[in-house]
Amino acid sequence: MKGISAKRWLIMVLASTVLVFMTAGTGLRAGALGEGLTFVYVTAGDPANPFIARTVSGWKEAASALKVDQTTNFTYGDLAKMIDYVNTAIATGVDGIFIFSLDPEGLHPSIKKAVEKGIKVVTMSAREEVYGPDQVPFVGFELEEQGYTVGKYVAKQLKSGAHIAFFAEFIAPYSTARRKGFLRALDDAGISYTASDTFEVGEDLAKGIDTVKTYLLAHPETDAVIGLGSVTTPSGAVALQDLKYEPGKVKWAGFDLEPEAMEGIKAGYGATNVDEAFNYGFMACIALYLKAKYDFVVGDLPVATSMVDKSNVKEFEAWVKKGIK
């Protein structure tokens, strides 16, 4: 199926097959499925963030199909609030918790409490630091390797002595790992560089654009602007266009494919690495269902990623409009 990796499609088919056979083998009513199960999604983000909205869309679609009760809690990057929501879910005795983890160390005590009470847990963005995938599955991919992929792409366009500027929504495992992978790719390519600190801008696109503009005006030596997330990536594209930079004068790259980023790619400003955002929520809900209903050992669930530039961006437009990418 176009737009979905072969591995991802196989996992989805196998999951569906397991559900069919388990339902048939237990004589369970087709309408029953997960009736009586309660799941909670505790996300680090803001509902206005398109990436977060896609994960929630996948989560809700799977919950509806499986007939489980679900609640989604948004924490706006606040770790204390995230811990509170997880602890509240544990106290109310839910059956499963899906966590968009910003801080595996900070969340571990709560996850440990959930596991010890028999509550199933799945994470994304950062792996659980103690429990393996047999107990706490991870939905996603190796973020450092994703950063490396983007770094390899940009390294081909840079000369030694390049000045790189980094921007992230949050200083968190996802942004730290992507930055590390990006710079490792430059090292492997033999490109010398200076790199800014990572500027944290939150999830406000307008603030992100202003931050990138301010940096570019103060640092005309900048050779590349790198967004480390779904808000800061389009921030770079819009900032370059607002400041009337010619495409390619300052390299631009990042992650995820929001509409503004897609327009920046079409205009020739750079590229992003995209993943199946919808599937984070969709597969996490399926994993919780299989673990809570059947004590099924799910393991980690990979999500496909792809580099998107001007040469192939049109192939992704429909997926962006559908809320998949």
pLDDT at residue 154 in the model: 98
Write down the pTM of the prediction: 0.83
Share of the chain above pLDDT 70, in %: 90
Classify 60 as helix, strand or coil: helix
3-class DSSP state of 83: helix
Q: pLDDT, tens digit, for every residue of 284-315?
A: 999 999 999 999 999 999 998 999 999 999 99
Provide the sign of the torsion angle of the four alpha carbons 107, 112, 117, 123, taken in this order.
Answer: positive
pLDDT average, residue stretch 206-233: 97
Instruction: Return the CATH number of 143-274, one of 1.10.3720.10, 3.40.50.80, 3.90.420.10, 3.40.50.2300.
Output: 3.40.50.2300
pLDDT of 21 strictly over 70: no
Domain 6-136+276-305 has CATH 3.10.50.40: no
Residue ranges, comma separated, of all CATH 3.40.50.2300 domains in the chain are 6-136+276-305, 143-274
Could you tell me the pLDDT band of residue 27, with boundaries at 50, 70 and 90?
very low
Separation of first and last alpha carbons in the chain: 15
Tens-digit pLDDT profile for residues 82-108: 999 999 999 999 999 999 998 999 999
Mean pLDDT of 128-154: 96
Task: Give tens-digit pLDDT for 102-140.
Answer: 899 999 999 999 999 999 999 999 999 999 999 999 999
Q: What is the pLDDT of residue 23?
A: 45
Confidence of residue 324 (pLDDT cuts 50, 70, 90): confident
With 90 as the cut, is the pLDDT of residue 24 above it?
no
Predicted local confidence at residue 40, as pLDDT: 98
pLDDT of the residue at 22: 44
**Separation in Å, CA 115 to CA 121, 129, 294, 298:** 7, 13, 16, 15
Query: Given the structure tokens 């919950």, which residue do they identify?
Result: 63
At 31, the pLDDT band (50, 70, 90 cuts) reads low
pLDDT confidence bin for 320, thresholds 50/70/90: confident
CB 130 within 8 A of CB 72: no
pLDDT digits (tens, 9 = 90+) for 167-192: 999 999 899 999 999 999 999 999 99
pLDDT of residue 20: 43
pLDDT at 75: 95
The pLDDT of 240-256, averaged and rounded, is 97
Return the SS3 of 288. Answer: helix
Per DSSP, the chain holds a count of helices (H) and strands (E) of 11, 12
